[in-house]
């Protein structure tokens, strides 16, 4: 069995608490009972960690002087500190539950899955998401380099659900105004083939709504082919090449539709005409007035 997870106690700045919480995800291993669901569960942890790091980047937590002290004075900073302390406590509580489980478990039940057990697509996603997080969070010296394990689905769901809820709370205190842009950057850092996007979509479904939405849109466009061979139009006309989606359509998972092809050899657009070569999902789209 791996060594217990632990941190050095003491007064930490808000930024240090944040970095400790981000790093905490790296010390979690999953037991053999996760079996065939291992890849999705590991990616859920990766996505929860990435979303927390995204919030930290948007809040500029490692550079804002308000977060450089252990006793912040303004109300919002104190609230951020309280949320991060709760998240830190969640890790500690589940580590203790894991230790209690190990006391009565047979050695076979303590076997751990490894990143090397992942198939190439999931392993690549894990590696790329980890690299993104390392660019955003600072490595701290408050951790002993030891690991702990989650052995059952109940505690795993507790961790993911509550950690996601804590990030929700942080985003209410400091909204991530450019969340979609940051997610676009994250996706560009991973391999954008369909298997990778679908693995992200499955893991992000109830963990990171913004990531899930952007992935759905990428999937919706990944196989589409919209083509105009020759276009003649004046300044008043409008021509749209490509598919468009309403927000409700994206929420219903339109990304699962089969790829489509829309082609036009010759288009003439004059006056106030509107020409759309592509598909429109969910009623009025972004091209409509």
**Domains of the chain, first to last:** 14-221 (1.20.120.1020), 223-281 (no CATH)
**Averaging pLDDT over each range in 90-104, 210-224, 236-250, which range is the top one?**
90-104
Q: Write the CB contacts of 112 (distance below 8 Å, at least 6 apart in sequence).
A: 2, 29, 30, 31, 32, 149
Angle CA(122)–CA(125)–CA(130) in degrees, nearest 5?
Answer: 130
- What is the percent of the chain with per-residue pLDDT over 70, rounded to a whole number? 74
- Mean pLDDT for the stretch of residues 214-231: 70
If we measure between CA atoms, which residue out of 133, 127, 108, 164 comes closest to residue 42?
A: 127
Cβ-based burial of 170 (10 A; exposed 0-12, middle 13-18, buried ≥19): buried
Mean confidence (pLDDT) of the chain: 83
Query: pLDDT value at position 190?
Result: 83
If we measure between CA atoms, which residue out of 99, 113, 103, 144 comes closest to residue 40?
A: 113
Contact 183, 211 (CB under 8 A): yes
Contact 204, 215 (CB under 8 A): yes
0.85 exceeded by pTM: no
Retrieve residue 179's tokens: 């969340």
Range with the poorest average pLDDT among 57-61, 74-78, 169-173, 271-275: 271-275
Query: pLDDT value at position 286?
Result: 42
- Regarding predicted confidence, which is higher, 194 or 262? 194
| Tens-place pLDDT, residues 47-62 | 999 999 999 999 999 9
Confidence class of residue 146 from pLDDT cuts 50, 70 and 90? Answer: confident
**Pairs from 94-98 (Cβ < 8 Å, separation ≥ 24):** 94/150, 94/155, 94/158, 94/159, 95/4, 95/5, 95/148, 97/155, 98/148, 98/149, 98/150, 98/151, 98/155
Cβ-based burial of 16 (10 A; exposed 0-12, middle 13-18, buried ≥19): buried
Query: pLDDT value at position 193?
Result: 86
Q: Write the CB contacts of 181 (distance below 8 Å, at least 6 apart in sequence).
A: none
pLDDT surpassing 50 at residue 8: no
If we measure between CA atoms, which residue out of 78, 90, 101, 121 comes closest to residue 20?
A: 90
* Residue that is written with structure tokens 């468009």 in the block: 244
pLDDT surpassing 70 at residue 260: no
First to last CA, the chain: 62
Contact 224, 243 (CB under 8 A): yes
């Amino acid at each position: 069995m791996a060594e217990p997870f632990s941190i050095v106690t003491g007064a930490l700045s808000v930024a240090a608490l944040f970095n400790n919480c981000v790093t905490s995800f790296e010390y979690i291993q999953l037991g053999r009972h996760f079996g065939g669901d291992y890849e999705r569960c590991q990616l859920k942890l990766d996505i929860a960690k990435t979303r927390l790091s995204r919030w930290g980047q948007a809040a500029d937590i490692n550079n804002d002087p308000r977060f450089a002290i252990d006793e912040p004075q303004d109300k919002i900073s104190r609230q951020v500190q309280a949320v991060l302390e709760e998240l830190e406590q969640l890790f500690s509580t589940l580590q203790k539950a894991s230790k209690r489980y190990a006391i009565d478990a047979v050695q076979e039940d303590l076997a751990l899955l490894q990143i090397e057990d992942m198939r190439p697509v999931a392993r690549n996603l894990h590696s790329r998401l980890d690299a993104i997080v390392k660019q955003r969070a600072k490595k701290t010296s408050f951790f002993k380099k030891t690991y702990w394990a989650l052995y059952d689905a109940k505690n795993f769901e507790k961790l993911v659900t509550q950690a996601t809820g804590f990030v929700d709370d942080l985003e209410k205190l400091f909204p991530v105004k450019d969340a979609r842009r940051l997610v676009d950057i994250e996706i560009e850092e991973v391999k954008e083939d369909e298997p990778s996007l679908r693995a992200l979509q499955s893991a992000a479904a109830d963990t990171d709504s913004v990531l899930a939405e952007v992935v759905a849109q990428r999937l919706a466009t990944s196989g589409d082919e919209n083509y105009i061979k020759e276009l003649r139009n004046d300044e008043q006309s409008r021509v749209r090449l490509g598919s468009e989606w309403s927000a409700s359509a994206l929420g219903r998972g339109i990304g699962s539709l089969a790829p489509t092809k829309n082609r036009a050899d010759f288009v003439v657009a004059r006056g106030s005409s509107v020409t759309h070569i592509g598909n429109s999902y969910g009623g009025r789209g972004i091209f409509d007035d």
